[in-house]
Chain A
Amino acid sequence: MTETLQSLLGGFGVALEPMNLLWGFVGVTLGTAIGVLPGVGPALTVAMLLPLTVKLEPTGALIMFAGIYYGAMYGGSTTTILLNTPGESASIATALEGNKMAKRGRAGPALATSAIGSFVAGTIAVFLLTMLAPMVVEVALKFGPTEYFALMVFAFVTVAAVLGSSMVRGLSMLFVGLLLGLVGIDDQTGQMRFAFGVPELMDGIDVVVLAVGLFAVGEGLYVATYQSRQAEQLERMSGSLWMSKEDWRRSWPAWLRATAIGFPFGTIPAGGAEIPTFLSYALEKKLSKYPEEFGHGAIEGVAGPEAANNAASAGVLVPLLTLGIPTSATAAILLAAFQNYGIQPGPLLFQSQSALVWGLIASMYIGNVLLLVLNLPLIGLWVKVLMIPRPVLYGGILVFATLGAYSLHQSVVDLVTLYVFGLLGFTMRRRGFPLAPAVIGLILGPLAESQFRRALAISQGDPSVFFTHPISAGLLTLTALLLLIPWLVRVVRE
């Protein structure tokens, strides 16, 4: 405990260095801006900025990326409340009540409860992260390749098969991601796989090209084809930003309950913030003394989901930092940012890169305060961002997106690959395939393969190790159950 506090104090020393403070500020500001902009999410933004890792030193860059990640959660609520277009899936629950409040002239309190709620939940969740991470590290230090492999299989299956509407479509995308992860040189034997002699493919497929292709080009094509001729109605910023006593009384229990739901959900591989926001919404609706207001702008329905969203996004960092397991698309791209510096997140990170990891955690306390300032007094500025005409906005998005991919190798091949992934993203969105499993498969697949082969090398090729080590056996059994239960339920019913 004291050790943790000491490390955290050291972390504040790092995070408060002027340059790191500046990167943190750049990160949360950018994060808010892209959270506000419809059509740009944190996964895409971090992916577009990944090529910058070549130029920046790791601590500053990672502080900035983390700032973008949780800043986007704040900004997203503004768009949702004023425009009723959820910027990201985790904001859908907020849209249910937030936009109704804005329509009734209560945009101010809706924005305030989501910003303050995000701050409260974010700060508590970062504190929980601070306390929990060293404990998980303790356990994870005992993990060998066998346990890691089992953990990755578990993460793959929950992200691909259990979440989302269709198990088979999730798994298809996971396998596509895994296949893309195989392209290039096999690190252990030097064998070239799936490269077809194309030099650009020999280094493997960069996550920037896949993520930008799916999220920017694919999204651009989709919105142009199916949504560009729709009129959008931007609600006016109305009502005082101050919450009345009544608003406070109804908001704070919702914030706390939502934090308690959001954080644990973030830490397990359950796809980040989407599920806890809906759970929080349902819970608030059930507990509210004013259930009749739900559907017409109940403030608890904004306060809860927004807080859950932020708590979950801090929770996602627990498995990412302590185990190196990303459980959402954005986390997978953050993992790629670490890898670009040759740093592998995991229990050893807390020992070998203690200043970096604690600096990063400390920067999130500071970032939450900055975000509260950015999102309350300066809200008017972000509302202006929302007024950027769609044609100009998407023109800009695609210029930056293609720049991110092109600057990797200065190669037109990357632009062609980008368009191919764009077509894939368009089709997947139209047909309801989830995109996150593909990104996670690409990043985590090669790691899982090397753990798998390492485990077998240690056991001299005896595959039974995965079932004789208790932790790995437990995780693999759980994975099998998750895959089989839905099917068994159906068979029993019929």
Chain B
Amino acid sequence: MTGGRPGARAELMLSLGVLALGAFAAVIAFGLPDAAGYARVGPNFMPKFVAGGLVVCGLWLLAEVFTGGWREAVPENPEERSDHAPYPRAFGWVSAGLFSQMALIHSAGFVLAAGALFACVARGFGSTRPLRDVAGGLFLGLGVFAFFVKFLNVNLPAGWLQPLLGAAGI
């Protein structure tokens, strides 16, 4: 069995994940109509094939978990991969940056969302100068905004800064 091998649980979960994805794809693939025509192969053939492939890969991965673990697995010890010990807070900051951008982009606008994203990511990478990061992010966002709107005619949401950006002619 998997024993207490480090990483075994992650491998088990991922193997089951691939298997589940295959099963899920299969359920949908078998619900698709045939509509085969001359080729005698319709829009449901490839989905069934891919679902089958995922199920086989999932089972194969699962078999490896129970026979000594994934072959050629990435070392569990971070030092062996020239990494340091995981720093979950950094992961959290980068994610928070992306979430705040999703939340802000349509209300506060692209520039402010870019400022928030930039500052959070920089914080995640160990920056200790939040003011510089917010300013840097706003500056970058403003530059990108002006370039897209002025030169590429791609609309980005101006949001709360609408009056300000409008007054600046952007």
Is A396's CB under 8 angstroms from B140's CB?
A: yes
**Residues of the A chain whose Cβ atoms lie less than 8 Å from the Cβ of B86:** 225-226
**Residues of the A chain whose Cβ atoms lie less than 8 Å from the Cβ of B91:** 221, 224-225
Which of B25, B64, B97 is close to A179, meaning CB atoms less than 8 Å apart?
B25
Give the distance in Å from the alpha carbon of A412 to the alpha carbon of B108 in the complex. Answer: 13
Q: How far is the CB of B109 from chain A (nearest CB, A)?
A: 12
Quick one: CB contact mask for A167-203 with B, threshold 8 Å, 1 for yes? 0110110111011001000101101011000000000
Q: How far is the CB of B99 from chain A (nearest CB, A)?
A: 8
Is A166's CB under 8 angstroms from B72's CB?
A: yes
**B78 within 8 A of partner (CB):** yes
Quick one: CB contact mask for A191-233 with B, threshold 8 Å, 1 for yes? 1011000000000000000000000010011011111111000
Within B82-119, the residues touching A (CB, 8 Å) are 83-84, 86-88, 90-91, 93-95, 97-99, 101-102, 105-106, 114, 117-119
Is B74's CB under 8 angstroms from A461's CB?
A: no
Quick one: CB contact mask for A279-319 with B, threshold 8 Å, 1 for yes? 00000000000000000000000000000000000000000
**B23 within 8 A of partner (CB):** no
Q: How far is the CB of A292 from chain B (nearest CB, A)?
A: 26
Which of A165, A182, A452 is close to B50, meaning CB atoms less than 8 Å apart?
A182
Give the distance in Å from the alpha carbon of A399 to the alpha carbon of B143 in the complex. Answer: 12
Within B115-170, the residues touching A (CB, 8 Å) are 117-119, 121-127, 133, 136-137, 140-141, 144, 148, 152-157
Quick one: CB contact mask for A225-259 with B, threshold 8 Å, 1 for yes? 11111100000000000000000000000000000
Which of A191, A230, A395, A427 is close to B117, meaning CB atoms less than 8 Å apart?
A395
Is A55's CB under 8 angstroms from B57's CB?
A: no
B-binding segment of A1-9, A18-26, A363-371, A401-409: A401-409
Which of B43, B87, B99 is close to A188, meaning CB atoms less than 8 Å apart?
B43
- Name the CB-closest residue of A to B154: A407
Is B57's CB under 8 angstroms from A398's CB?
A: no
Is A430's CB under 8 angstroms from B43's CB?
A: no
Is A395's CB under 8 angstroms from B53's CB?
A: no
Give the distance in Å from the alpha carbon of A344 to the alpha carbon of B117 in the complex. Answer: 37
- Name the CB-closest residue of B to A403: B144
Give the distance in Å from the alpha carbon of A416 to the alpha carbon of B72 in the complex. Answer: 32
Known contacts A391-B125, A412-B106, A226 near B94 by CB under 8 Å: no
- Name the CB-closest residue of B to A456: B39
**Residues of the A chain whose Cβ atoms lie less than 8 Å from the Cβ of B136:** 392, 395
**A453 within 8 A of partner (CB):** yes
Known contacts A395-B121, A457-B37, A230 near B47 by CB under 8 Å: no
Q: How far is the CB of A173 from chain B (nearest CB, A)?
A: 9
Is A456's CB under 8 angstroms from B90's CB?
A: no
**B1 within 8 A of partner (CB):** no
Is B64's CB under 8 angstroms from A230's CB?
A: no
- Name the CB-closest residue of B to A196: B28
**Residues of the B chain whose Cβ atoms lie less than 8 Å from the Cβ of A166:** 70-72
Which of B14, B83, B123, B133 is close to A226, meaning CB atoms less than 8 Å apart?
B83
Known contacts A217-B98, A395-B137, A449-B46, A189 near B35 by CB under 8 Å: yes
**Residues of the A chain whose Cβ atoms lie less than 8 Å from the Cβ of B119:** 395
Is B87's CB under 8 angstroms from A224's CB?
A: yes
Known contacts A398-B97, A407-B156, A461-B40, A431 near B74 by CB under 8 Å: yes
Question: Interface size of B by Cβ–Cβ distance < 8 Å?
Answer: 79
Is B126's CB under 8 angstroms from A391's CB?
A: yes
**A422 within 8 A of partner (CB):** yes
- Name the CB-closest residue of B to A229: B84
Is A168's CB under 8 angstroms from B61's CB?
A: yes
Is B54's CB under 8 angstroms from A453's CB?
A: no
Known contacts A179-B50, A221-B91, A457-B37, A406 near B125 by CB under 8 Å: no
Known contacts A172-B54, A412-B105, A395 near B141 by CB under 8 Å: no
**Residues of the B chain whose Cβ atoms lie less than 8 Å from the Cβ of A227:** 83-84
Is A189's CB under 8 angstroms from B57's CB?
A: no
Is A415's CB under 8 angstroms from B101's CB?
A: yes
**Residues of the B chain whose Cβ atoms lie less than 8 Å from the Cβ of A186:** 43
Q: How far is the CB of A464 from chain B (nearest CB, A)?
A: 13
Known contacts A225-B91, A395-B122, A230 near B11 by CB under 8 Å: no
Of the candidates B38, B46, B97, B133, the one having the most CB atoms from chain A within 10 angstroms of its own CB is B46
Give the distance in Å from the alpha carbon of A303 to the alpha carbon of B101 in the complex. Answer: 44
Sorted nearest first, the 10 A-B pairs with minimum C-beta distance are A461-B40, A391-B127, A391-B122, A226-B83, A224-B90, A391-B125, A165-B72, A395-B118, A432-B74, A456-B39
Given contacts A193-B32, A224-B91, 9 further A-B contacts (CB under 8 A): A169-B61, A178-B53, A223-B125, A226-B86, A398-B117, A399-B141, A400-B144, A432-B73, A453-B39
15 CB contacts below 8 A, A to B, read: A54-B154, A172-B61, A176-B54, A182-B46, A217-B98, A226-B83, A391-B133, A395-B136, A403-B148, A418-B98, A419-B95, A422-B98, A431-B73, A452-B46, A457-B38
Binding site for B on A (CB under 8 A): 51-52, 54-55, 165-166, 168-169, 171-172, 174-176, 178-179, 182, 186, 188-189, 191, 193-194, 217, 220-221, 223-230, 389-392, 394-396, 398-400, 402-403, 406-407, 410, 412, 415-416, 418-419, 422, 427, 430-432, 445, 449, 452-454, 456-457, 460-461
